Amino acid sequence: MGFPKTLDWSPTKQQESLDQLYLFVVNECAASINWYYQKKRSQRMLGFLLRLGAILAVAVAGLIPLIGELLKRNDKLWLSPAWATVALALAGLLIAIDRFGDYTSG
């Protein structure tokens, strides 16, 4: 529904024109509110996934040295603890994306 094209401001038609204008404004407001809530929902989900990824990356970073020690063969590490640093860097990157993208603000 677009802007009303048949507005007549003569004294006998003023109320009808105001009613048409009022309905137009109410419909536009409702459409704007619906757009905002749709956008907010998708941003909130993306923020949740970014934070979940960061939590998992930190957990993996904590487990990497333990797994490396447990799976050591002939005093040689199977999994280098340096990979824990990579996992922590990934967690930091995910939080930075969330922070600068403003996905979980407020």
Give the pLDDT confidence of 37-96 residue by residue, as tens digits: 887 788 888 999 999 999 999 999 999 999 988 888 877 878 888 999 999 999 999 999
Asked whether residue 22 carries a pLDDT value surpassing 60, the answer given is yes
Dihedral sign for Cα atoms in the order 40, 43, 49, 52 = negative
How far is residue 7's CA from residue 22's CA, in Å, rounded to a whole number? Answer: 12
Give the pLDDT score at 69: 86
3 Cβ neighbours under 8 A, 6+ residues apart: 24
How far is residue 57's CA from residue 9's CA, in Å, rounded to a whole number? Answer: 65
The SS3 call for residue 97 is helix
Asked whether residue 106 carries a pLDDT value surpassing 70, the answer given is no
* Confidence grade of residue 1 (pLDDT, cut at 50, 70, 90): low
Give the pLDDT score at 3: 86
DSSP state of 73: B
Give the pLDDT score at 76: 80
Q: Which residue has the higher pLDDT, 18 or 42?
A: 18
